[in-house]
Structure 1
Amino acid sequence: MSDLSSVVSIRSAGGDLESLLARYKTEVLAFFSVFILVFSSMKMYSTAASSGNVEQWVNLTNQVFYEGRDFLFSYGPLYWLVGGSSSQYSIYTYWGAILFVSLVNGAFWSLVFTLVNRARSYVFFAVAFFLFFNGLAFSAAFFLLPFALVAYFECSKDKPLVVSAQWMAVLGAVVGFLFYVRFFYGLVGLATFGSYFFVRLFSEKKISRLVCFVAAVIVAYVFVGLVIFHDNSSIVNYLIINKNLSFGNSVDMTLDIVNSRRTFVAAFLVAALLNVYLLLKRRSLLLTVNVLLLLLFKLGFSRTDHYLGYFVIPTAALALIMVFDRNWLGRALFVMAMVCLYYLSINPSYSGAPTKDSLLPAIDFRAGYQERMQGLYSDFKLDDGLLKRVGDSTIDVYPYNNEYAFANKLNYTHRPSFQNYMTLTPALDSMNKAFFESSARPKFVLWTAGVACGSESCNVFDAFDQKFSLNEDPLTVNAILLNYHVVSVSKGKGGVPLMLLEANDGRAVYSETQLSETLMKFGEWNKVPKFSGGVVKVIPNFELTLYARLKNLLFRGNILKVRYKLVSGGIREYRLNILNSKSGVWVTPLLDNFEFSGDAVDSVMFVSDSTHYFKSEFNSAWIGVQVPKVHNKAIAVNSVSTSISGILKNSVIACEGSIDLMNGAGPTSTTLNVTDLLKLQGWLVHSTKNGTLFDKTYLTLTDKKGSRIFVLTNGEARGDIGVAFKNPALNAAGFNGLLDLSTLSGTYKLGMGGLRGSEFYSCSQFEIPVTVEK
């Protein structure tokens, strides 16, 4: 039987809840809509909120969480609930604050939307929202929620709602709690509910409910204070401090200004319009609204610089009371009130006061489009000599940074596919190539450094996504280099290099010279053929597998890279565009500056991150392209000597160090041509225990007769060595060396040694066979 009664009770509770939701479906829908929107969009960040101002309180609102410390100020000890702190104390207070803000705004707007919907005052509400509110996360909701609730009691039904003693106690408890969020919030809540229920007392003759409200405020104030304060005396001190802060703020925290009389007149007219309506239609709200008007006027105009946020905007919300009833008088008075408040918002209350004009666009259209764009990119200013040379002539900016065109009001005439790293296919590349070979081409091209170039000494061809910009759209590059010549090289934003090119008198069509063909494999080095007077490129005929075609269609492509082994022994790597690589991959010289010089490349290797995307073997064609002014950099080899001066003692020891790389590979027996260079990299220290280095590090080559030559190396930073031995002094232990083999022949043993003072230490463990052939 008890089980049956439980089922009946559950069904009854479910029915009551369903009935309640049906009765308040508008309110519930509005509440959850606003709650979800605010909760999902709100973020609270850590900010240096007091930096550059005197608002020290913002760093102390979290003192409620400190052991033995109480925060006593007008911004309450719970002000962090509305985000009032430099940083939220913990993850729990972070989500608690967002929840609190969402609940308050959900409650406030659900009451307002319900009353607007009942009165069908959508247009009037929309006007106020556009002019003054501008968002659902409405800061004034924290102190206007009591008024929204009073308006709901008064206007949601044909007759004012009767609030029971229990609900009066709940409202009192909420007000008591709000005092600790911010003292002003509690004060406004007390004034709002107290004045409204005081007026209702004369018609309802039930003082007990008002007593319940007042008692609940006091009890809640004391109870919450006991919970959050560490010292019980803070409950009283909080009142004393706020009383004195309020009085002192009114008397001595004033600005040396003269208010505009017109703003006082506009404020008076708004108050008068509200009072006319309330006298004729809603006398029960007359006291409440005027009490709030006095508080808002006091708060907004006592400092005056606060009048927008604490008088104009909240008063616009109060004025909504005139459109919560379906009568034309209220709507007419509301429109007039909006005009007065709008006047207040756009006209400063004093010289230099803040204003708010929602009808004013965010862009100042008094300035022309060109002037506005120039102002946006003012740091992209070009030097006067370059601008004088270009004048009004047409110009394109390649590969990036058309900001220069707008910043300098250039006659910008861009290629069809104007964004370099998005010229992803040969078809788009061909369109740009045809443009620069046509009569429609611009007279000038401003060639800017790659997006990865950030300094005066950077590689100007380091591009987007670790790519080499000369490989991004190879046909376009060829057309520019063949049809334009360099006029000047200068600096742009941040001192980054750029160059100006001018169109040649004639027009040239891209052509190439076939050098050779070869079958290549991924992961294998391929020797670069010789070509004088230009650039060597390779055209790989990559073959996609069926898996690759499906992957491209349904998902995304794979990563393709090209590695360059320089004649000097170094290795560089770039990502490649898979589709555009069929138009030619730039190989040598590997340019890095606008003087068109670059390192000579010995061989190249293609690398894929998958063994299933490409077929492992592919045919490739080597081609030569005549490009003016392109040349190899001189190779700086290390000095070689047959002896070291100043040595008084020679020792042989097991050294602490390593030859890590020989021409980019691990140290091993090797055979080289006399025309080759040998690049070596590694590290050497005198003592890892003591953190001592050699004064100089040498590589040695010893022939079969025992004759030895010494190669002085270059220092190289090796932070990994310092980390490995936990001594930053060893970060300088690295070395590199480049050997010219043209004077050598035969078999040698490659070794290492170090000079410290007048003693030379030969490393016993390094005897790597190296054969040099003619």
Structure 2
Amino acid sequence: MTNIEQHTAVNFRTYRNLFTTAIRLLLVITIACLFIPFYPKMPAAGLDNSWMFGMNEAIAQHMAFGRDVIFTFGPYASVYTKEYHPATGSLMLLGSVFLALAYTIGTLFLINKERWCLGLVYSLFLASLVYSRDSLLFSFTLIVAASAYKAMMLKETGSEKSKSINLALIILLFSLGLPALIKGSMLILCGAISILCFLLFVMKKEKALAVMSLALPASSMIFFWLVSGQSISDMPAYIANMGPIASGYTDAMSYVGKVSEIWNYLLASAVLCAGLFANRRQFKPENMFLWCIFSVFLFLAFKGGFVRHDGHASMAAISLITAALIYLSVTSNKLNLAVAGLCILASFYIINNYVKTNTAFLKHNIVQTYTKAYEGISNSLEDSHWLDKKFSAAVNNIKESANLPILQGTTDIYSYSQSDLIASGNQWNPRPILQSYSVYTESLAIKNRDHLLGANAPDNIIFSVEPLDHRFPALEDGTSWPALLSNYHPTMLRADNRLFLAKNPTPTNDANPTTIQSAIHHLGEEISVPDMASPVFVELDIKPNLFGHLANILFKSAQLKIKVTLTGGQSQEYRLISGFTKSGFIISPLVENTSDFGMLFGDSSFYEHKRVKSFSIVQVKGKTTFWQNEFSVKFKSLDLPPPIDLKKLYTFDPVTDAQSDPQKAPDSYCLGVIDLVNGVPPTKAMATSSLLRVDGWLATSTAEGPRPATPVIVLWNKNGQVKLIYTRVSMRPDVGAALKNPDLDKAGYVANADVSGLDGEYSLSLGFKEADQVKICQPSQSIVTIGKRTTHADK
């Protein structure tokens, strides 16, 4: 070889080494930017933001996870949320830096210098697409397992020093305990990976590593648990309570999406798993290990992405890309690129249904990954207190928007919106499962109820009915409703759908309803509800059959639906969650909103129109039955305190005498309708004893086009007496959109009147006031019988 050729070869190796070093450095920087919160989020209002703020505040108030707080997330939740709190900032940084270090070691161990191209692709993938924190945590566990596999291969060939391999494995196995303290459901995946690594090391006769694969994750959990300020005595409860949370999630949170996304994911996953076998002609234990870790990873990502099949599907898709890239790092076959390419195409198909993953989108994400980190570092160098200042400003914004008063004593808020309460400056005293939609099972529901009946019950409750996914409204924390009705009284109902409750001076420690009927019924059967003046409580023990149990383990079973029929004949349908029903809920009256719940504290005549006559339960769809046909039904009565005067709580619209007989307006002059009377569409004959609520919209024709009117509800009886109920404005953007006139967004109206002073049959009409004259827009379509209800089965 000539000197020129030697010089060229040396330069080529030098440039290649520099290039591969740069790629590896890029990978390290990218991982640091993703894991370490250089520019953390700040608290905000809303459902998800509320539990994020709540997890941080729980640490700040030294609450015990597993006892005081039982939720999907653990004491290191901030590593997942990247949300700043002065009390958890150092904890978030510790967990994030440690995970970033372990992730970097594992990634560099898998993607060696010879595979610099894969390192570049993985860096760009992380920077552009891994905005899902679930995907990042999931991918970490697969990297640990794949590193264990590669370590055994390197030891066989002797191409690397055993000491360096063992050191890398010790760090990776030790870090496997932290994800379970970030998100409790990671216990399943981390535990499975730990056990599979143990079996691999046993088969390869690596006794020390086999012991460490079980001991190090457990030691890590204990270490990080103690560092977070938690007591070791609470750790078993934290682990045990993840059982009902994980088992109840599938039924409670399932959501139906596009079936084609599921088939794309399953097909790509099957091809990848088949590709693992194609890489080895002869069977070896480590080959089965490799197949197992990918199968477990892909299966749990499938469950995480498609049980609640909405934007969560992107998490499964991103995990599939991760699996494909790690697959390339541990296998060598001509078909590998084709297998990985298929997985990536399937993933982009899924992701594109939620976000448009074009070049501009990917470029934006890449730029943001690095610039946000740079901006955060720069801010910290310029002002060491900038995070505390942003935190204070964010909390103050929440406080001003929610505008909650300072209440004496401790306070909890239902069903979520913890951010509003914490930011207000009130002393937060949460129930164990702090957001009501997460009370998936009977045991969790009872924990929340017992908190209200215990010595540490909050002095105040800020209450809202806010069901998720069109669930039956009384389901979420429904087991606690008897305790709320017995031990608290309402003090204020605000226009923002919040009912303020204060603890009674002498609260009862027992709010258990009394059984009045018990029987076995069947799916699809019409079940009569006892005719009682007081609210009726029901417990339903609906169980999946064997096929349903298998469906829940492998994916999800069919949803249940409840159809309730009111005494007036109207019907409503809602989603039913079996895990919520066993501990019980109020079936009658039908409580659909916060205002309805407040009525339960008053005289029963105010919710007369919402009494449920009967209900039936069916599987939503599908030829295959996932549920046992028979189920038990227990009806119970509630022993409630004397009713309060609702006039002190509700602002009822006045009922006045008409000064003159209303006149009929020309038909062409009016646009509008009565949509609902006492929550249901108007019929020819209706009845009420105390409350009359009328909703709808009205506009009048003018030379400039339709304009919002001043609606009034007109009642007159056969004696010629005319009563008027003046309405309030209710926003109706649907009307403005339909008639292409933004002014008509204010055409909605609502009247909420106490008509207990009236008696007899009244014609109900819609009218409007013009000057001092009331004009009828709509002839009487309904006769409302107003009078006291006098017959009950319990009287």
Instruction: Please confirm whether the aligned pair reaches a TM-score higher than 0.5, indicating the same fold.
Output: no
Which structure shows the bigger proportion of residues in helix conformation? 2
Normalising by structure 1, we get a TM-score of 0.39
* Bigger relative contact order, structure 1 or 2 (CA pairs below 8 A, ≥6 apart): 2
Normalising by structure 2, we get a TM-score of 0.38
Highest Rg: 1 or 2? 1
